[in-house]
Amino acid sequence: MSKIVLVKANHAGIAAANTILDNYPGNEVVIIDRNTNLSYLGCGTALWVGQQIPSFDNLFYMNKEAFTSKGECFFNGYRCDIN
């Protein structure tokens, strides 16, 4: 088992974490990012403000529970299953 550290949880970081967890079971993934959330689509904020999407929640495409179901994952020092 290896500990793999990903710096930045942007689109590429989320894709890398998913690829590792899906294809290399038994590894531990640690994601470090300055933000406190996973997979925020900042480019969609204007859509929410302009009421073109129904909810702010639609600006996130990945959550901690999805990572937890795949294996060992930590985000900013916390296990991905901890809110």
- Residues with catalytic roles: 11, 43
Residue pointed to by tokens 């529970």? 65
Tokens of 26: 């038994």
List, in sequence order, every residue forming a beta bridge with 74; answer none if it has no partner.
Answer: 30, 79
Name the residue among 19, 14, 45 with its Cα closest to residue 31. 14
- What CA–CA distance (Å, rounded) separates 73 from 7? 13
